[in-house]
Amino acid sequence: MKRILVVGAGGQIGTELIPHLQKNYGYDNVIAADLKDEVVARLSQNAIAEKLDATDFQAYGELVKKYKVDAIYNMVALLSATGERMPDVAWNINMGALLNSLNLAKEFNTALFTPSSIGAFGSNTPHTKTPQDTVMRPNTIYGVCKVTGELLSDYYFSRFGVDTRSVRFPGLISNGALPGGGTTDYAVEVFYEIIRSGHYTCPIPEDTYMDMLYMPDALNALTQLMEADPAKLVHRNSFNVTCMSFNPRELFAKIKERVPHATFDFDVDPVKAQISASWPDSLDDSCAREEWGWNPQWDLDAMVDDMLKTIAQKLGK
Ligand code: SER
């Protein structure tokens, strides 16, 4: 059975990825590592957990060696909106963790998954049915890190034979840990606010389309891609994946159908507005479907039903 190390395990994806991997590979074969003591303490209640600064090459290497790791999932990231507030920090963290992951994957012969993002695209990318292979000139430091990461990961595969794989995640909607500092966060925050207070003020313009995925599909994407037959992979870093595209107005209408007293208004954040306008409206994910069988299960209605139900339970409402 494969032994997997997840770095950045306390974030929005890691928090749900850990139980998903435990279910697929066994509790003892999943190690959750994170930077913060309080996060490690939380993770250790349900997983083998270790404290790790992924930019510390030596400490990171010791963990890979200690657990005889076969695959690294590098989930360390500072997201798009936070990145614009501190570009140097974003570059150092995002690229530091990636370079260490690549070099350790090479040294210890492990597979490596690092998520890319719709943030890897920019204003001059075709915005509808955005192709797998297209112009990638992002306007954010987050996007610059993601494009660099895709290129480096492909380079490590072709030059050194490192088994690097990746998907370009759109906005991820989930009910575990909150996202933080992203441009797509509104599509999660709205559910908490509507259940708490019945009102949500949105920072994204009402007519801005972005692709989204519900977390169960995102988790399946990860394990499906990492288990895919390498002979079938024409691409590696990184695959477009999506299963819905909507703008805030459309999402809020779906919520209002179910919560008639919900009210919404807009207080647009200029940085997030600019970022979201530069990203695709809808991705073409046919390469992921053809090369490794990507087949998402959730649509907008089912996601809204499930989010309202699970977050109401979580908040005791
Ligand atoms: N969810 C990310 C962000 O908004 C995009 O990958 O920054």
Whether residues 194 and 66 fall in one domain: no
CA distance 54 to 299: 35
| Closest ligand 1 atom number to CA of residue 184 | 4
CA distance 28 to 25: 8
Residue nearest to atom 2 of ligand 1 (CA): 182
Residue 177 lies inside a defined structural domain of this protein: yes
Residue 223 lies inside a defined structural domain of this protein: no
Tell me what pLDDT residue 11 has: 93
Residue nearest to atom 3 of ligand 1 (CA): 182
Q: How many domains does the chain have?
A: 2
Tell me what pLDDT residue 76 has: 96
Domain C-terminal end among 114, 137, 170: 170
CA distance 86 to 177: 23
Taking alpha carbons only, the member of 56, 11, 6, 60 closest to residue 177 is 11
For residue 122, what are the domain limits?
4-170
Tell me what pLDDT residue 305 has: 98
Q: Just list the catalytic residues.
A: 142
Tell me what pLDDT residue 180 has: 84
Whether residues 128 and 185 fall in one domain: no
Edge-to-edge strand ranges of the sheet holding 210-214: 171-173, 210-214, 244-246
Residue 152 CA to ligand 1 center (angstroms) comes to 20
Q: Report CA-CA distances (Å) from 156 to 56, 150, 153.
A: 20, 10, 5
Ligand 1: residues whose CB is within 6 Å? 79-80, 117-119, 142, 169, 171, 182-184
Q: What is the pLDDT along the chain (317 residues), one digit of tens a residue?
A: 799 999 999 999 999 999 999 999 999 999 999 999 999 999 999 999 999 999 999 999 999 999 999 999 999 999 999 999 999 999 999 999 999 999 999 999 999 999 999 999 999 999 999 999 999 999 999 999 999 999 999 999 999 999 999 999 999 999 998 888 899 999 999 999 999 999 999 999 999 999 999 999 999 999 999 999 999 999 999 999 999 999 999 999 999 999 999 999 999 999 999 999 999 999 999 999 999 999 999 999 999 999 999 999 999 98
CA distance 50 to 86: 27
CATH number of the domain encompassing residue 78: 3.40.50.720
Whether residues 31 and 150 fall in one domain: yes
Q: Report CA-CA distances (Å) from 268 to 34, 198, 204.
A: 33, 19, 5
Contact by Cβ (8 Å): 105, 156 = yes
Residue 219 CA to ligand 1 center (angstroms) comes to 16
Residue 222 lies inside a defined structural domain of this protein: no
**Mutational test site, ligand 1, from 93, 117, 150, max ligand atoms within 8 Å of CB:** 117
Whether residues 15 and 112 fall in one domain: yes
